[in-house]
């Protein structure tokens, strides 16, 4: 037996394990973090993907002792005070799951894909990068849509947070974005850009909640789109679904 120590989902943990204990076993059996699934045990399905020091890894492929001293994040560590990670929210919104068995691994892989490729990652790249994650239910299109959607929601959250909006305002804006599920017409991005969306949502929210501590200048600072910062009209008659 040996002792391992690591940070899992931001908390220090330790355990007495056999040398042969896999990381996935340690997470599931010692820590009871059963959101990380075991679908094959032969490194093929991706149901066991977690992040080790910020990088996705199939936790059935490494020993727990190899993660000694590491920062490990599992699906249970993504939500923040009850608020889903944007990628989790996007999987829910896009029906990116049926039985849900592959979903924790899909979400963890999707976050790593966006981390490495940026929020404008294209569909062929998403499909190629998800080759190591197998789903028996969905046919993949809704999963690919969820990854694209999640990357946009994620960027929107980062943009808004970076502009030092009041936390309550950020949450309301995001809830509203999810509720509306629209992108303003006229945006050159195929499915809408987060900054323009933030402007549209900000206008709408301001009308609904006049006391929100936001104004357009806080939202109009994204470098992605050249038109950002210019006034534009949000036409509620011509909303497009994402």
| Contacts for 11 with CB less than 8 Å, ≥ 6 apart | none
Binding window for ligand FES (CB under 6 A); candidates: 38-46, 144-152, 155-163, 174-182: 38-46
Give the nearer residue to ligand FES in terms of CB position, either 18 or 41. Answer: 41
Q: Tokens standing for 85?
A: 């990670």
User: Rule CB under 6 A: is residue 137 a binding residue for ligand FES?
Assistant: yes
User: Rule CB under 6 A: is residue 43 a binding residue for ligand FES?
Assistant: yes
DSSP state of 22: B
Phi and psi angles of residue 13, each rounded to the nearest 5 degrees, phi first: -135, 155
| Contacts for 21 with CB less than 8 Å, ≥ 6 apart | 30, 63, 64, 65
Question: With CB under 6 A, what is the number of residues at the site for ligand FES?
Answer: 23
Q: How far is the CB of 38 from ligand FES (least distance, A)?
A: 4
Q: Tokens standing for 204?
A: 């709408």
User: Rule CB under 6 A: is residue 99 a binding residue for ligand FES?
Assistant: yes
Q: How far is the CB of 73 from ligand FES (least distance, A)?
A: 16
Rounded CA gap, 88 and 80, in Å?
11
Q: How far is the CB of 148 from ligand FES (least distance, A)?
A: 18
Q: Which of 69, 100, 181, 186 binds ligand FES (CB under 6 A)?
A: 100
Q: How far is the CB of 85 from ligand FES (least distance, A)?
A: 18
CA angle 92, 96, 97 (to 5 degrees): 90
37: buried, middle or exposed (CB in 10 Å: 19+, 13-18, 0-12)? Answer: buried
Decide if 1 contacts 26 (C-beta within 8 A): no
Rounded CA gap, 107 and 73, in Å?
12
User: Rule CB under 6 A: is residue 165 a binding residue for ligand FES?
Assistant: no
Of residues 45-74, which lie at the interface with ligand FES (CB under 6 A)? Answer: 45-48, 58, 60
Q: How far is the CB of 26 from ligand FES (least distance, A)?
A: 14
Binding window for ligand FES (CB under 6 A); candidates: 93-101, 123-131, 159-167, 218-226: 93-101
CA angle 200, 201, 204 (to 5 degrees): 90
User: Rule CB under 6 A: is residue 110 a binding residue for ligand FES?
Assistant: no
Give the nearer residue to ligand FES in terms of CB position, either 140 or 232. Answer: 140
- Beta partners for 56? 51
Q: How far is the CB of 78 from ligand FES (least distance, A)?
A: 18
Q: How far is the CB of 164 from ligand FES (least distance, A)?
A: 38
Using CB under 6 A, list all residues that contact ligand FES: 38-41, 43-48, 58, 60, 97-103, 135-138
């Amino acid at each position: 037996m040996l002792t391992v120590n690591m940070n899992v989902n931001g908390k220090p943990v330790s355990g007495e394990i056999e040398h042969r204990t896999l990381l996935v076993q340690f997470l599931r059996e010692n820590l009871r973090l059963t959101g990380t699934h075991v679908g094959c045990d032969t490194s093929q399905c991706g149901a066991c993907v977690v992040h080790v020091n910020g990088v996705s890894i199939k936790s059935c492929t490494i020993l727990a002792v190899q993660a000694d001293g590491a920062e490990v994040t599992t699906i249970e560590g993504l939500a923040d005070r009850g608020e889903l990670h944007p990628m989790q929210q996007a999987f829910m919104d896009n029906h990116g799951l049926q039985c849900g068995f592959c979903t924790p691994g899909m979400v963890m892989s999707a976050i790593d894909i966006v981390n490495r490729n940026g929020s404008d990652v294209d569909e062929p790249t998403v499909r190629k990068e998800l080759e190591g994650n197998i789903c028996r239910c969905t046919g993949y299109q809704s999963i690919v849509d969820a990854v694209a959607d999640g990357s946009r929601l994620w960027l929107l959250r980062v943009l808004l947070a970076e502009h030092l909006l009041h936390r309550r305002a950020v949450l309301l804006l995001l809830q509203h974005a999810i509720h509306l599920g629209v992108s303003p017409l006229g945006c050159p991005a195929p499915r809408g850009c987060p900054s323009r969306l933030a402007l549209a949502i900000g206008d709408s929210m301001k009308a609904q909640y006049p006391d929100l501590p936001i104004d357009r200048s806080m939202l109009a600072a994204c470098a992605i789109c050249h038109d950002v910062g210019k006034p534009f009209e949000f036409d509620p008659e011509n909303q497009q679904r994402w």
